[in-house]
Structure 1
Amino acid sequence: MGEKTVGIVRPILSANERIARELRERFSATNTFVVNVLSSPGSGKTSTILATNERLRDQYHLRCAVIEGDIASDVDAQTMKAAGIPAIQINTGGLCHLEGDMIRRAVDALDAGPGLSTIDVIFIENVGNLVCPVDFDLGEDLSVMILSIPEGDDKPLKYPGIFQHADALLLNKIDVRTAFDFDLDAYSATLDDLNPEAPQFSISAVRGSGMDAWCAWLAKRMFSVRS
């Protein structure tokens, strides 16, 4: 008997795409804007979301919630809750990305808690990974890629897909640039080649540098989509 090869990638992605469409319709019905935050571990996703929430809340009167994706622990979800942000933790148990069904269950939990209609923005803090998350649509309105200065200016060359996928490109920890051999001109030139349509923001989430410009762009994008 000859061997048979069963392809599972396409069925998995097709099922995910169906769920993502359903999520997108659900978010649209409640006027909830969704941001998928991508990066490697340690880039500052959590601190960037916290700093973004402060500005969206205080300057634009927007209510945020967070869906946290990690292989294990609920450290980041507890950090968000301590800051007064509704948060749902997803532990993937080793999976290197989030999928639509995970988000659907997290959204159900948010809907049972504060209520989806009371949330203006959901940040999905994806699992720290520069490859796998790109393949899975989560029903988001836009994806944001965060790179930090200590990671090096060569990451867009090594992992071009995630930088091409993103709708906005954030360079975090700009305040420590002088301590690292990071070629900002080379980095920006690479992004211009890979993704010329995506705006680039240099920020320090902890110090606040560049955060107002990033949040102004995000708020404008939100209001244009949900107006």
Structure 2
Amino acid sequence: MCREVDLHQAVLAKNDTSAGTLRAELAARGTSVINLLSGPGSGKTALLERELLRARERDIPVAALTADLATENDARRLARSGVPVKQILTDGLCHLEAAMLGGHLDGWLPDDTRLLFVENVGNLVCPASYDLGETLRVVLASVTEGEDKPLKYPTAFGLAHLVVLTKTDIAEAAEFDEEAFRAHVAQVNPGVEVLPTSARRGAGVGELLDRALAAADGGGVHQPVMAQRPPAHAHHHERHGHEHHHHDAAGLPTHPSDPARGYVGAPGVAARRRP
């Protein structure tokens, strides 16, 4: 048990170092990373394609990097926007890591890129614990996934700077209760904005781009409560893709990674370790 926890701590600590380096390097060139997390089938590729098209219409230099276990389908879809797009195949790894991301940017990312959208692997468990050097962490969920998604994945939703609700055009057919969904989001991440969108109908398209630009300019980034609270318990166990969550005295789930970490909110950082 202790050996497994120690190994997990070491992996996350190494990733934090890489993320800090990448964040500083990109900031020096004026580039901000937007980390998009969701489960499979949330519609984030469809929405991202519309956002990239909107950025191109507004002459905002953007690029996109999309990660999958297999196939380059998403990269081909996003490339239709006409902006620089690159696919990462993770060979079975269920998340991106900062060093992996940095390695794929070398020699590819245009120098004038203002925003780099990173479409993480479709998974709400593993990617939640890994800082990619992002300025804005966005979690997306569709109306077809149910109102209790935030409660099932409190780490992913609890560390988000922005929550995007997708496919709202079929909310009625799916019998989706948006009020309940918003209440569940507020339970794990008080104060975070929930942005309703429909890529098919165009509702809310461009607003994610606006939030990303605001974050890149140094303002408008929500600071999750979970990222500011030290863990309430001194152990963590993650195995075979399952998370075991703990809750603090206020009933909020604490971050499930390094038990020795204290988390503090900081602009552009989902969760950072205290010195």
TM-score calculated relative to the size of structure 1: 0.90
Is 2:46 aligned against 1:52?
no
Distance in 2 of aligned mates of 1:193 and 1:206: 29
1:99-128 deviation digits (Å, cap 9, x = unpaired): 1121011111424xxx3x221110110000
* Maintained 8 Å contact 2:43/2:142: yes
Q: 1:189 maps to which residue?
A: 183
* Maintained 8 Å contact 1:90/1:102: no
Is 2:221 aligned against 1:204?
no
- State the percentage of identical aligned residues: 37
Q: 1:110 maps to which residue?
A: 108
CA shift for structure 1 position 34: 0.7
Q: Give the RMSD, CA atoms, in angstroms.
A: 1.7
Distance in 2 of aligned mates of 1:70 and 1:212: 25
Amino acid at match of 2:136: L
Q: 2:95 maps to which residue?
A: 97
Flag structure 1 segments of 5+ consecutive residues without an equivalent. Answer: none
CA shift for structure 1 position 53: 1.5
- Aligned partner of 2:67 among 51, 69, 87: 69
Which structure ranks higher in relative contact order (CA pairs < 8 Å, sequence separation ≥ 6)? 1
CA shift for structure 1 position 40: 0.3
Amino acid at match of 2:51: T
1:149-176 deviation digits (Å, cap 9, x = unpaired): 1111111111111111110000000000
CA shift for structure 1 position 81: 2.1
Distance 1:125 1:213, change over 3 A: closer
**Number of residues of Structure 1 aligned to a counterpart in Structure 2:** 217
1:24-75 deviation digits (Å, cap 9, x = unpaired): 011101100110000001101111111111222323x211111111001111
**Residues 180-189 or 192-201, more deviating:** 192-201
Distance in 2 of aligned mates of 1:176 and 1:163: 22
Distance in 2 of aligned mates of 1:170 and 1:68: 18
Is 2:96 aligned against 1:138?
no
The 5-angstrom pairing of residues 115-134 of structure 1 reads 115=110, 117-134=111-128
TM-score calculated relative to the size of structure 2: 0.75
Bigger helix fraction: 1
* Maintained 8 Å contact 1:71/1:93: yes
Flag structure 2 segments of 5+ consecutive residues without an equivalent. Answer: 220-275
Is 2:177 aligned against 1:178?
no
Secondary structure, counterpart of 2:164 in structure 1: strand
**Residues 99-108 or 208-217, more deviating:** 208-217
* Maintained 8 Å contact 1:171/1:203: yes
Secondary structure, counterpart of 2:108 in structure 1: helix
* Maintained 8 Å contact 1:52/1:211: yes
* Maintained 8 Å contact 1:69/1:89: yes
Distance in 2 of aligned mates of 1:72 and 1:221: 31
Distance in 2 of aligned mates of 1:58 and 1:83: 10
1:76-112 deviation digits (Å, cap 9, x = unpaired): 112222321211211111111101121011111424x
Amino acid at match of 2:120: N
Distance in 1 of aligned mates of 2:24 and 2:208: 26
